[in-house]
Amino acid sequence: MFVWAKIPEKFRHLGSVEFSLKLIREAQVAVSPGVGFGEYGNGYVRFALVENPHRIRQAIRALRKII
């Protein structure tokens, strides 16, 4: 299962690649930059929900701290 998420307004200027790198560096959460799926995906990132529920909750907590 995948979740497409719009990049929050305050980070939109980064674009999907830089925002994805920010999430890896600061939250240790990997996402796919939306631009990799076409030019209209640049304002989005894609989360792959492939981990167990505990790890997904852990990722959500980490994301909340930086967003």
DSSP string covering 37-49, please? Answer: G-GGGTTEEEEE-
pTM given for the model: 0.92
What is the separation of C-alpha 55 from the centre of its chain, rounded to a whole number of angstroms?
Answer: 15
Closest CA to 34 of 17, 49, 12: 17
Question: What is the third-level CATH fold of 2-66?
Answer: Aspartate Aminotransferase, domain 1 (3.90.1150)
* 9-26 mean pLDDT: 98
What is the separation of C-alpha 60 from the centre of its chain, rounded to a whole number of angstroms?
Answer: 10
In the prediction, which pLDDT does 47 show?
A: 97
Mean pLDDT over the full length of the chain: 97
In the prediction, which pLDDT does 64 show?
A: 96
Q: What residues does 3 pair with on adjacent strands?
A: 47
* 33-49 mean pLDDT: 96
